[in-house]
Amino acid sequence: AQSVTQLDSQVPVFEEAPVELRCNYSSSVSVYLFWYVQYPNQGLQLLLKYLSGSTLVESINGFEAEFNKSQTSFHLRKPSVHISDTAEYFCAVSVPSGNTGKLIFGQGTTLQVKP
């Protein structure tokens, strides 16, 4: 069975500082990897995805994540955070299952950006 572990439940950081949100997964088969972000009182928004190809993927708002197969990790990074990045971040894996690929989520990491 697949599982996802987000190693930090809360990450406080000052504005303009770098941040890394850690995600490790367990799977005996190939998976696709995702990061979703949930702003207060909103739904889950797809932040970035790894399906194949380059192991470094980037989002439009400066986040990036690197797929590391040997370490089974997909950590999320940003070199300089903004107050507006304060949100809950979820790492997820998708395993091809029948005709659809269900998502298996980690516990979430709350990013708290302080001024």
Our finding on whether 96 is near other proteins (CB under 8 A) is yes
Q: Using CB under 8 A, which residues numbered 20 to 39 contact other proteins?
A: 32, 36
The structure tokens listed for 81 are 């955070």
Identify the residue among 49, 59, 77, 110 touching other proteins (CB under 8 A): 49
Could you tell me which of 37, 40, 38, 9 has the C-alpha nearest to residue 22?
A: 9
Q: Residue 108, by phi and psi: left (phi above 0), alpha (psi -120 to 50) or beta?
A: left
Closest distance of CB 15 from other proteins, Å? 27
Q: Residues in the site for other proteins, rule: CB under 8 A?
A: 32, 36, 42-46, 49, 51, 90, 92, 94, 96-108
